[in-house]
Amino acid sequence: MPKDLFRSAARRHKTLFDAWLTMNNPLAIELIGDTGWDCVTIDQQHGAGGNDTMLSCLTAARAAGMPAIVRVANNDHGLVGRALDAGAQGIMCPLIENVGQAESFVQAVKYPPRGRRSWGPYRAKIGVSGDYFKIANRFTIACPQIETKGALSDLDSILGLKGVDMVCFGPNDLSVALTGKLDIWVKEVQEAMAEVLAKSREHGVMTLIFCNDTEFAKPRIKEGWDVVAIGTDTGWLTAGAASALAAVGSSS
């Protein structure tokens, strides 16, 4: 079986830092990996590029030694299978509303008898010693997002599904769903975040959280979330460009 950084780090209670990409540039992935980030999320819901871009990014992630999660655009078996076959270890599915949708998603990630993933891991099996089919279900990661009222109300059932390996807490969409405002610091989001972390631990499910910035991330690291994403590549580039310009004084 290939090295499973996500599960080994979770067993050691070591937080992994996730580079969340929306520009989806292969060179950027190699540069990010060189700075020491642990893993990468390739966002195909709110990010740029299609299948060819995703494949290039997964190739770069492997070259950089970073396991990759792909967030698919929606709960679609074809999109899930395509990302897994291309070499993603984890698949993140947005806007899960209930346990039925979560079950459909898990079936897309896992081979029979647990699921209905179709055979054809043209790139995923590269470098795997032994039978990829036999190890795939315990290596791949099904990660539904908890970012809707429905998912929150059905949380125990979703976490109890065999094959739900990780959940991603999405504070931005959840804040809008719960309050009608985009504010991740509101009490409702803070309470939901604590509930998701506690119940995930009870069910033995790994946890990932998206943080808009370092201020939001630092408490999450102390709380022991397994994977913490801090901003996105577009945000880092914008902040770096603005900082460089401000340091020399912008022309007018």
- Residue of 13, 46, 77, 203 marked catalytic: 46
DSSP string, 42-103: EESSSSS--HHHHHHHHHHHHHTT--EEEE-SSS-HHHHHHHHHTT-SEEEE----SHHHHH
Tokens of 144: 């539904």
DSSP string, 192-238: HHHHHHHHHHHHT-EEEEEESSHHHHHHHHHHT-SEEEES-HHHHHH
Task: Give the H/E segment covering residue 21.
Answer: strand 16-21
Report the length, in residues, of the chain. 252
Cα angle, residue 194 at apex, residues 109 and 166 outer, rounded to 5°: 15
Tokens of 131: 């039978």
Catalytic-residue membership of 203: no
Q: At 207, give phi and psi (nearest 5°).
A: -125, 140
Return the active site residues: 46
